[in-house]
Amino acid sequence: MFPYIVRRIFIMIFMLTILSIVTFLLFNAVPTDPARLTCGKTCTPEIVAANRIRLGLDQPLYTQYIDWIRGIFVGRTYGSGSATFDCATPCLGYSFRNGEEVTVLILDAVPVTMYLAVGAFLLWMLIGISSGIIAAKHHGKWQDRAIMGVSLVGYSLPVFFLGLLFLVFVIVRWNLLPYPDYASPFEDPVAFFQTMLLPWLTLAILYAAYYARLTRSQMLETMGEDYIRTARAKGLSERVVFRKHALRAGLTPIVTSAGLDLAGLLGGAVITEYIFSLPGLGRLAIGAVTDYDLPTITATVLIAAVFVIVANLIVDILYAAIDPRVRLT
């Protein structure tokens, strides 16, 4: 087990390196001059030139990349002489549009996205897996058909549709909840829950529909295995067969899917955050794209990708730990 983990961590570091290079090139080798983007319409050529030198944009691309990476690990100082400013470790760059270090922007956004993703995750796993199990248990009967029908519609709805429906009816029409205005759960728990309830539900319903289908097909496949027949043949009650033999094997593959989906959401639930005006990573990224704020775009994409890669590693290790059939080669 231990050599396996070490090897996987090496592969992960390698992948992160490639990923950071690709992300950097994707957004920094652009046709537009990044220095020109550092100030608005009042820009003079002198300011642009000064900012170019200050941000190191006059250097060749590989030097810029190395400076960027070094900034993440040891921090970095922009400019020289009297016009310097420090960007503390981990420095992901400086956003001129926001007049703020990118790291600060990201650290503000991460908790919001995290609350959103984790809350929705718990809800959808609960709803999705339990309804999937019910459907599999009553395979072919009305319960199965009802759950599969509802989940198919839920799964087919456009992502933004459900959120908008909630927004228009629950908030605008029926005034059941106040307009979304994010507040930290430690400062104003009531406002926090009032704001997060609908986003949680929106995401949870969409994912639950998918997980209900996934769980059902996994359970049905497991129930068709030979060892289940063996368990029945040796006289175990149906309840024991289902709980002790089928459930564990059937639900193991769902771990992979769940881990990766959660990681994907942690990188920003773009549309849900956009609809409900949640100041998370997704909304930060959308704002950065609209403003052409390159350091922020690069950093948010990198952070989101890091979440996925790390989750990939955790899921694989977890999988190897719970499924004895996985060979560690």
Partner 1 sequence: MTVLDVSSLDPDVNQDAVVGRTLRQIAWSRLRKDRVAVVSMYVLGLITFIAIFGPLISKLLGVNPYDFNTDLLNDAGSLPLGPFGGVSLEHPLGVEPLTGRDIMARLLFGSRISLFIAVSATIITVVMGTVVGIVSGNSRGKTDAVLSRFMDITLAFPLLLVIIAMSPVLEQRLQAWGMPAGNPSRITTLILVLSIFGWPYLARLIRGQVLSLREREFVEAAISIGSSNSRILWRELLPNLWAPILIYATIAMPGLIGAEAALAFLGISVIPPTPTWGSMLEESVGYFTVDPFYFCVPLTMLLAAVLSFNLLGDALRDALDPKAGRN
- Tell me the C-alpha distance between 283 and 285, whole Å: 5
277 binding partner 1? (CB under 8 A): no
145 binding partner 1? (CB under 8 A): no
- Tell me the C-alpha distance between 137 and 254, whole Å: 17
Cα separation values, 91 from 84, 95, 264, Å: 15, 11, 23
- Tell me the C-alpha distance between 2 and 184, whole Å: 40
92 binding partner 1? (CB under 8 A): no
Q: At CB < 8 A and 24+ separation, what contacts does 184-193 make?
A: 184/111, 185/115, 192/115
132 binding partner 1? (CB under 8 A): no
Could you tell me which residues are beta bridge partners of residue 95? 100
Shortest distance in whole angstroms from residue 160 CB to partner 1: 5
Q: Are 301 and 285 in contact (CB under 8 A)?
A: yes
Shortest distance in whole angstroms from residue 110 CB to partner 1: 14
Shortest distance in whole angstroms from residue 21 CB to partner 1: 10
Tokens 């395979």 correspond to what residue?
Answer: 139
161 binding partner 1? (CB under 8 A): yes
x/- track of binding to partner 1 for residues 189-218 (CB under 8 A): -----------------xx--x--xx--xx
Shortest distance in whole angstroms from residue 29 CB to partner 1: 9
Shortest distance in whole angstroms from residue 48 CB to partner 1: 20
Task: Please list every residue from 101 through 130 that binds partner 1, using CB under 8 A.
Answer: none
Q: Are 300 and 106 in contact (CB under 8 A)?
A: yes
Shortest distance in whole angstroms from residue 131 CB to partner 1: 16
- Tell me the C-alpha distance between 157 and 114, whole Å: 24
Helix (H) or strand (E) holding 77: strand 76-78
Q: What is the chain's alpha carbon radius of gyration, rounded to the nearest angstrom?
A: 24
Q: Are 102 and 94 in contact (CB under 8 A)?
A: yes
x/- track of binding to partner 1 for residues 236-265 (CB under 8 A): -----------------x--xx--xx--x-
Q: Are 62 and 71 in contact (CB under 8 A)?
A: no
x/- track of binding to partner 1 for residues 297-316 (CB under 8 A): x--xx--xx--xx--x----
Shortest distance in whole angstroms from residue 271 CB to partner 1: 6
Tell me the HSE value of 309 on the side-chain side, using a 13 A CA sphere. 19
Q: Across the chain, which distance is largest between two alpha carbons, in Å?
A: 86
Helix (H) or strand (E) holding 216: helix 189-223
Q: Token pair for residue 163?
A: 């959120």
Shortest distance in whole angstroms from residue 45 CB to partner 1: 22
Of the ranges 51-59, 81-89, 183-191, 295-303, which one interacts with partner 1 (CB under 8 A)? 295-303
Of the ranges 106-114, 133-141, 151-159, 321-329, which one interacts with partner 1 (CB under 8 A)? 151-159
268 binding partner 1? (CB under 8 A): yes
The size of the interface with partner 1 (CB under 8 A), counted in residues, is 56
Task: Please list every residue from 4 through 43 that binds partner 1, using CB under 8 A.
Answer: 14-15, 18-19, 22, 26-27, 30-32
Q: Which residues bind partner 1 (CB under 8 A)?
A: 14-15, 18-19, 22, 26-27, 30-32, 152-153, 155-161, 164, 168, 172-173, 206-207, 210, 213-214, 217-218, 224, 253, 256-257, 260-261, 264, 267-268, 270-271, 274, 282, 285-286, 288-289, 292, 297, 300-301, 304-305, 308-309, 312
